[in-house]
Amino acid sequence: MNLCVLTAHVPDTASVIKVGAAGNRIDETGLKWIISPYDEYAMEEALKLKEARGGTVTYITYGPARAEAGLRECLARGGDAAVHVKGGEATFGDALAVARVLAAAVRKTGTFDLILVGVKGVGSDNGLVGAMVAELLDIPHVAGVTKLEVGEGSLTAHREIEGGAEVVTAPLPCCITAQKGLNEPRYPSLKGIMAAKKIPIQALSVADLGLDEGTLAGAEAGCRWRALSLPPAKSGGTIIPGEEDPAGAARQLATLLREQAKAI
């Protein structure tokens, strides 16, 4: 079974984010970059399927030079090949541009029975890329999968919806986006880390895929990030002492909730 995992290299979720000087990008100084956490569930599911059914796992990412470190970590957990499409600075935050590049990379790399990607890339959090890749490749797509069963020529996917769960069947090839709860991602082993260093990573430019990154970021851009700003600093809150007069404190709290917070 040939499996493809699409990954993104994102700032560590524990990082303190600052807005860059241009005002429409983050300041990358001193940031630690990691595999997008939701992509880890996609990666683990692909590895489990390979172990159960045989086949290959190929990782594809689109990003600047630093994204190669993310691919090395993917390979350290298991897998057979990796493709790095270099670029991405100009198309930052544009899900359609990213999907076009990734879909073209999938076509160029090979034929896959199943494409897996995280339900969203931490950072932009738009949850669009997986569905767009599937549409561009003209294959079925199931979003937010929490349980996956793959049979001969088809799959059954379970996904959480408001107030319940949904079970979807789809033919292969197919694309699924992995949600938290699908599995428990493994850590890379020392043996895996050493083996990953010996696996060549195929490097491609956007032009190698028959696309023009300038056009994707310009005339054909679906989204442009004009400005970023941090949320306003939180106030210290209001402390109502109530040890000596609990009833009075309760009346004051009710007044604040009604007149300031408009909660009651």
Classify 246 as helix, strand or coil.
helix
pLDDT at 208 over 90: yes
pLDDT at 169 over 80: yes
Q: Between 24 and 87, whose confidence is greater?
A: 87
42: its two tokens: 């996609």
- The 10s digit of each residue's pLDDT in 60-112 is 999 999 999 999 999 999 999 999 999 988 898 899 999 999 999 999 999 99
pLDDT of residue 226: 85
The alpha carbon dihedral of 57, 58, 63, 68 has a sign of: positive
Other Cβ atoms closer than 10 A to 199: 14
pLDDT of residue 13: 85
Confidence of residue 235 (pLDDT cuts 50, 70, 90): confident
Q: Between 57 and 21, whose confidence is greater?
A: 57
The mean pLDDT value of the chain amounts to 93
Residues of the chain above pLDDT 70, percent: 100
Q: Between 57 and 230, whose confidence is greater?
A: 57
Average pLDDT over residues 162-176: 95
pLDDT at 155 over 90: yes
Q: Between 200 and 89, whose confidence is greater?
A: 200
**Residue 90 is which amino acid?**
A
**Residue 188 is which amino acid?**
P
State pTM to two decimals.
0.86
In CATH, what class is 2-217? Answer: alpha beta
d(CA 183, CA 48): 9
Domain ranges of the chain: 2-217, 238-264
Other Cβ atoms closer than 10 A to 206: 25
Confidence of residue 236 (pLDDT cuts 50, 70, 90): confident
Average pLDDT over residues 208-227: 90
Average pLDDT over residues 129-158: 96
**Look-up: residue for tokens 């290299």?**
9
Average pLDDT over residues 214-237: 85
pLDDT at 263 over 80: yes
pLDDT of residue 126: 84
Q: Between 28 and 99, whose confidence is greater?
A: 99
